[in-house]
Homo-oligomer: A and B are copies of this chain.
Amino acid sequence: MPISPQLIEELVTANRILAREGVVDSFGHVSVRHPDRRGHYLLSRARAPECIEAADLMEFAPDGAPVDAAGRTPYAERFIHGAVYGARPDVHAVVHNHSPSVIPFSITRAALAPVMHMCAGIGRGIPTWDSRTRFGDTNLLVTNMETARDLAAALGDRPVALMRGHGCVVAGGSLREVVFNSIYLQLNAELQLKAMALGEITFLSEGEIAAVMRTRSSFTFERAWEFWCRRAGRTYDVRPMEGPLARS
């Protein structure tokens, strides 16, 4: 069955939003799990997210092999996506990014944790994966399945893992969710950076994080998605709502 044009457009939009919000620059990428083919995923050819068009999107097999490259060069780090989809049946979308607010936490021992309700989705106990621990001095890139599986193992069942001196990976149930959590991960990092200069921080409690996650509906993502579409100059494609009422 061919991929729906709606999903294609949503993946293009996800790229453009991440670029507009400064989460990705020329690098970083976002994928969505193939709706039909087990373990396959859709991801752009190697191109800056701001420039991506529908024709750039490619399908990849679980091991990162392009299904129909048609002359297009894939991202060298596409393996990140395949490894996460392989390890996590609950995950339907993955972002890899180099957010300039998040990286400082990957290169120090300061622990990133939710300080605000909108950021609860990043979870507690965010791990920092260091390519050097197991692979020694490399160019830090995740360019094969072995390295990618090591990263996915560090991620475990969490929504976010940092990558030392590199960036992070964000995994979730939908494109809207991973875009949302990537942007609020960046915001949380900014808030925490500012707050650390002011004194001791009161983080969200575990109970609060659980309560936010329990009551979050897709409507929260929709409201943000419409806003980000407008900022990115993309048409907003309304989604049927699910879950409890709008919040915040």
Contact = CB atoms under 8 A, between A and B. Distances in A.
Contacts of A145: none
Interface in A48-96: 48, 50-51, 73-77
Nearest to A27: B248
Interface in A215-244: 215-216, 219, 223-224, 226-228, 230-231, 241
Contact of A76 (B100, B137, B210, B247): B247
Nearest to A117: B140
A75 B223 CA distance: 11
B100 A141 contact: no
For this chain, the copies found in one complex come to 4
Contacts of A150: none
B246 A214 contact: no
A208 interface: yes
Given A77-B247, A248-B76, A165 B198 contact: no
A117 B76 CA distance: 14
Nearest to A180: B26
Contacts of A166: 116-117
Contacts of A200: 108-109
A246 B139 CA distance: 13
Interface stretch (A4-12, A31-39, A152-160, A187-195): A187-195
A211 B118 contact: no
A207 interface: yes
Interface of A: 25-27, 46-48, 50-51, 73-77, 98, 100-101, 103-105, 107-110, 115-118, 120, 132, 136-141, 143, 164-167, 187, 190-191, 193-208, 210-212, 214-216, 219, 223-224, 226-228, 230-231, 241, 245-248
